[in-house]
A = this chain, B = another copy of it.
Amino acid sequence: MKQSTTKSASLGRPSGRDSEKVRRDLLESARDHFLKRDFKAVSLREIASSAGVNGAMVNYYFGGKKGLYLAMVDELFESLDEKMRSLSDSSEFSIADFSHSYCLLLAENPWWPNFIVREILFSEGETKEEVLQRFSKMIAPKLLHAIGQEVEDGNYREGLNPELTLMSLMGMAIFPFLAAPMIERVFGMKIDESMANKLAEHNVALFMNGVVNQKQQVTEGTGS
């Protein structure tokens, strides 16, 4: 004898029409978890229960855990590609302006350097290659060219190595967001938007003119 009714609260095809909602909920939940913790450290059951659906849905919609992960990565990159392009496509492109905007972009999306670094450093094979490919094509070549141009035009110091300069610039911009937990601990700073603004200005000033007191140096310089 079968219990045909009231056995389970929600068995059978659901009555709502929002079939796409489950997919989106899973992606969102996956993003929340995967951006905080490692691929292996996050279980499907966690993701599914956060999304409020059955774990088997991950297989149903994405073909498995890896499928869900890659779908999430795709979505992230799409949104970032878009944002980065809008930063670098302005007609009057300057390194300083870009650095500033980039810093603010990072403040809005603090998970982003975090995610990239993790992928590049620790992920295995497949995803790593994919992320490297996408990331490397994204903006670096354009910046590299811009720096080279500035040197050629005599605006930047002669003999400045564009590659090393770009690395320095990226390091200055990205590191504070990477090290946010440590910085909050050691410096008692919160990495919010106002902080990012200060950081952006500081970085541009340091990048352009360094730390040395120019007044002093110029005075000494004219004497020699």
Q: Considering the complex, which residues of chain A in the window 154-178 have a beta carbon less than 8 Å from any beta carbon of chain B?
A: 154-158, 160-161, 163-165, 167-168, 170-176, 178
Q: Is the CB of B209 within 8 A of A183?
A: no
Number of copies of this chain in the oligomer? 2
Say yes or no for A114: interface residue by CB 8 A criterion: yes
Partner among B132, B161, B170, B213 whose Cβ is within 8 Å of the Cβ of A158: B213
Partner among B150, B172, B185 whose Cβ is within 8 Å of the Cβ of A171: B172
Given A40-B38, A202-B168, A211-B156, verify A132-B181 contact (CB < 8 Å): yes
- A side interface size, CB within 8 A: 62
Say yes or no for A118: interface residue by CB 8 A criterion: yes
Chain B positions within 8 Å of A173 at CB level = 171
Q: Considering the complex, which residues of chain A in the window 122-172 have a beta carbon less than 8 Å from any beta carbon of chain B?
A: 122, 124, 132, 135-136, 140-141, 150, 154-158, 160-161, 163-165, 167-168, 170-172
Chain B positions within 8 Å of A122 at CB level = 37-38, 41, 118, 122
Q: Is the CB of B210 within 8 A of A154?
A: no
Cβ of A60 to closest chain B Cβ, rounded Å:
26
Q: Is the CB of A161 within 8 A of B218?
A: no
Partner among B37, B175, B202 whose Cβ is within 8 Å of the Cβ of A174: B175
